[in-house]
Structure 1
Amino acid sequence: MKRNVLIIGAGGVAHVVAHKCAQNNVQLGDIHIASRTLSKCQAIIESVHEKGSLRKPGLLQAHQLDAMDVEATKFLIRATRSQIVINVGSPFLNMSVLQACIETGAAYMDTAIHEDPAKVCEAPPWYANYEWKRRQACKEARVTAVLGVGFDPGVVNAYARYAIDSYFDSVDSIDIIDVNAGSHGRYFATNFDPEINFREFVSTVWSWENNSWKANQMFEHRKEWDLPVTGKSTTYLTGHDELHSMSQNLGVPNIRFWMGFGDHYINVFTVLKNLGLLSEQPVRTARGQEVVPLEVVKAVLPDPASLAPGYTGKTCIGDLVKGSKHGEPREVLIYNVCDHEESFAEVGSQAISYTAGVPAVAAALLIANGTWDVGGMVNVEELDPAPFIALMNRMGLVTRARHDGQDYVVDPQQQVVERSSTDKVVNSR
């Protein structure tokens, strides 16, 4: 049994993680939040108290930390007696925080692949460039490290594993579809860190086609999907974190990621890119000051966390899996719908942060009780998805499946699914 959690980061996802850890502090114990900006950590703690999220009275403490400093991070892990570290800071921090966990024995989690600030869209598979190089070190130290356990990556990886195991004899393709049909009312904003958001799209985007990597340009391939609740939405083929592990671990020949974009987003993005304002390379101004254009754009755009109070609408994210069962072709959509206003009412967050933060805490609970405490480095699709999906159902992210004319809540631990139009249950297999 592991207890006491150190949350690294103080952005929108960290906000949700703190609330959800507080709701489950009976199992998780003390909660610590660390960031370079102490005031942001303190603001999250104030929100937790205002919402009454603490399940029982307990320690909830803020700390100032430069998580790039391995020694300082090690010191804080030991000082707080944290046995679980949830890294929801910038992906630039992953390797330093991971190293601190390896050296202290704390379990490690993150929600995105590590990034080098000087490199964009490196050659795949991205995990092999960074995290996977520490696999042996995790194994030798018996440190559990669960990589990419937000929603995408994270939940969609678990959906893929669950679909393969429960609905198919063989799988030909997985299309991950991410649609945000909400509205924040601002002229232009990103739903998470603008710097990380733009870096995903400014260069080559990679898809997994016929068991090999295929290079594409952003907005080169477009497809319309008719999804539950959010309806018909235009999406674009995009490179994304989960493809880089799922392609290596699932044995599926075609895995693609599609994200919804409106015309306005594309127009603004295109102008910023063509002007060079999305470059990660420094330039010198007329006054002789060196600046990174992408960091300047980030500085002038709204903080994603500030979007939550006025956000309306819903998200739909899931996996459309195609293959065969008993020799017959089969298609299953396994998905979640999240409401921006409901997320704000519960924890003061918009749905994008909510969908990323809840899974990280679900994973922390599974590590705490030993279910996912595997003593090594894994991606989510390498773990049993059933307890993860069942736990998220109770924590606010309900998993549904649609196939053969049915649409129902998935309850993997009972091996049954509940149809939305009747009280009857049917076996998911």
Structure 2
Amino acid sequence: MKRNVLIIGAGGVAQVVAHKCAQANDRLGDLHIASRTLAKCEAVIASVQGKGAMKVPGVFAAHAVDAMDTGAVAALIRDTGAQIVINVGSSFVNMTVLEACIETGVAYLDTAIHEDPAKICETPPWYGNYEWQRRERCAQAGVTAILGVGFDPGVVNAYARLAADDHLDRVHSIDIVDINAGSHGRWFSTNFDPEINFREFTGTVYSWQNGVWQENAMFEVGQVFDLPVVGPQKAYLTGHDEVHSLSAAYPEADVRFWMGFGDHYINVFTVLKNLGLLSEKPVVTAEGLEVVPLKLVKAVLPDPASLAPDYVGKTCIGDIVRGVKDGAAAEVFIYNIADHKEAYEETGSQGISYTAGLPPVAAALLIADGTWDVGRMVNVEDLDPKPFLNLLNGMGLPTRIRDAAGDRALVF
């Protein structure tokens, strides 16, 4: 049994994590949140208190920490008595936070793959460049480290495992489809950190097909998916974290990730890229000022957290898994529908943050009660998906399935 949670980060996803941890603090114990800026952590706690989210009276404290400093994070873990760390800070800090967890012997959770700020789109499989190199040390230390336990990656990995275990005898392909059919009313914005968002789309698009890595350019390959609730949506083959672990778990299957984009986003992105404004290499202005173009773009765009009050519409994220069942071709679509307005009313964050922030709390609860406290490093598809998806059903992210038998809620 593990108790006491330290949340790293204080953005929109962290706010959802904080609210959901508060709603389960009778099982999770003392709560702590830390980032470079103490005021942001205090604002998250004020939001939790303002909505009366704490299930029982208890500790929820704010701290300032440089998450790039392993020693500082380790000291904070010891000072707070945290036994579970939920890292929802920038993906640049993943390895320093993980190292602190290995050093202190506490459980580690994150929602996205590690990135080196000096590199874009490294050689696949991406997890092999950083996280998986620490598997042996986690096992030796008995540290549970669950990688990429947001929605995508995370819940979609569990959907793939569920399809393979319960719905198909053989899996031929896994197509993960992420559609945001919502609107925030701004002329242009990204739904999460612009720097991470744009980095994700400027590199090579890797997919796993026919047993090898396939390379494409962003927006090169697109198709229309007819989905429940949100209807027909254009999505593009995109590089993404879960492809790099699911391809190892299901090497005989094609694994692809598709993300929905409107023409307006693509046009703005293309102009910014062609003008060099998505570059991370510094330039010097006529006044002698050194500026990193990507950081300037980030500075002038709306803060993603500011989008939440005006966001309306829904998201649809799920897995189309094809293969063979009882000797015949079969297909299942396992998915979730989330609502931006409902997410904001509950947690003060929009639906993108909600879908990313709720799953690590469910995972923390499974670590707390021992179900997922496995004492080693894993990706979500390495674990039994049913306890996880069952918790999500009751916490705000219900799972549905569409197959030959129709469209229905999936209950365990």
| TM-score, L = length of structure 2 | 0.99
Partner of 1:132: 132
Count of residue pairs brought into register by the alignment: 412
Deviations 1:270-304 (A, max 9, x none): 00000111112222222222221111111111111
Q: Output the amino acid matched with 2:184.
A: H
How far apart in 2 are the matches of 1:123 and 1:230? 35
Partner of 1:345: 345
Deviations 1:86-131 (A, max 9, x none): 0000000000000000000110010001000011111100000001
Q: Does 1:93 align with 2:93?
A: yes
Q: Output the amino acid matched with 1:327.
A: G
- C-alpha contact (below 8 Å) 1:118/1:281 kept by paired residues: no
How far apart in 1 are the matches of 2:286 and 2:32? 44
Q: Output the amino acid matched with 2:111.
A: T
Partner of 2:236: 236
Aligned-residue Cα RMSD (Å) equals 0.7
How far apart in 2 are the matches of 1:260 and 1:86? 28
Deviations 1:339-374 (A, max 9, x none): 001101111110000000000100000011100000
Q: Does 1:49 align with 2:49?
A: yes
Partner of 2:213: 213
Shift of 1:203: 1.9
Unaligned runs of 5+ in 2: none
Deviations 1:147-168 (A, max 9, x none): 0000000000000000100000
Q: Output the amino acid matched with 2:42.
A: Q
> Following superposition of structure 1 onto structure 2, how do residues 242-253 of structure 1 map, counting pairs within 5 Å?
242-253=242-253
Q: Percent identity?
A: 69
Q: Does 1:108 align with 2:86?
A: no
Partner of 1:74: 74
How far apart in 2 are the matches of 1:338 and 1:172? 28
How far apart in 2 are the matches of 1:275 and 1:308? 30
- C-alpha contact (below 8 Å) 1:161/1:250 kept by paired residues: no
How far apart in 1 are the matches of 2:41 and 2:255? 38
How far apart in 1 are the matches of 2:252 and 2:86? 30
How far apart in 2 are the matches of 1:283 and 1:399? 47
Aligned with 1:166: secondary structure?
helix
Partner of 2:142: 142
How far apart in 2 are the matches of 1:250 and 1:68? 34
Partner of 1:154: 154
Deviations 1:16-41 (A, max 9, x none): 00000000000000110000011110
Unaligned runs of 5+ in 1: 413-429
Deviations 1:249-285 (A, max 9, x none): 1234200000000000000000000011111222222
- C-alpha contact (below 8 Å) 1:171/1:323 kept by paired residues: yes
Q: Does 1:27 align with 2:27?
A: yes
How far apart in 1 are the matches of 2:69 and 2:276? 31
How far apart in 1 are the matches of 2:56 and 2:303? 31
| TM-score, L = length of structure 1 | 0.95
Aligned with 1:337: secondary structure?
strand
Partner of 1:364: 364
Aligned with 1:298: secondary structure?
helix
